[in-house]
Amino acid sequence: MQAETSTCAAKPAHLKRLEAELDSAMRERGDLRRKQEAEDEAKRRTSKRAAKAAHPSHMLSVPRMAGLMKAGALLGSAVALAEALSINPRSLRAKLTADRGVSFEDLQAAAAALEARAEQMIDHAAKLRAECHPTGVAAA
């Protein structure tokens, strides 16, 4: 009985050789995989850099955010400002909380909306003044 267990416990020479070949093959595959992953990561990083360079970065600027807030107040609501910017109110909140940057186009659209609102106010003020000083009423 003891002779049987001792022969089973010892590995034959061909199994040792197969195990060594398998270990070396697995090491090679692991090295190749790690090398490929490193190359892929390098490609991803360069493509991200290129993508970021292609997109203009919008500044996260407190004066810009404050200017948008003031524009919203002057227009009457944040919803009116969001409509003027052609974005959703949720996107406007993201701009006002510095989750997204405020672009020049955003500032120009807000300024245009304020100018349009100001023209409406000036026209209405002129109509009110005209009511206070009627020109065609006969004196009594």
Residue-level pLDDT at 56: 56
- CA separation for the pair 67, 80 (Å, rounded): 15
Residues 6 or more apart from 37 whose CB is under 8 A from it?
A: none
What are the pLDDT digits (tens) for 25-82?
899 999 999 999 998 888 888 776 666 555 555 667 888 899 999 999 999 999 999 9
* 83 token code pair: 């409509």
Domain map (residue ranges) of the chain? 2-54, 62-132
Angle, vertex CA 18, rays to CA 14 and CA 22, nearest 5: 175
81 in Cβ contact with 92 (< 8 Å)? yes
User: What is the mean predicted confidence (pLDDT) over 17-27?
Assistant: 89
Residue-level pLDDT at 42: 84
Whether the pLDDT of residue 140 is over 50: the answer is no
Decide yes or no: CATH 1.10.260 for domain 62-132: yes
- CA 122 vs. chain centroid, Å, equals 39
Residues 6 or more apart from 57 whose CB is under 8 A from it?
A: 101
- CA separation for the pair 1, 10 (Å, rounded): 15
Helix spans in 12-87 (H) = 13-54, 62-75, 78-85
**Amino acid occupying residue 92:** L
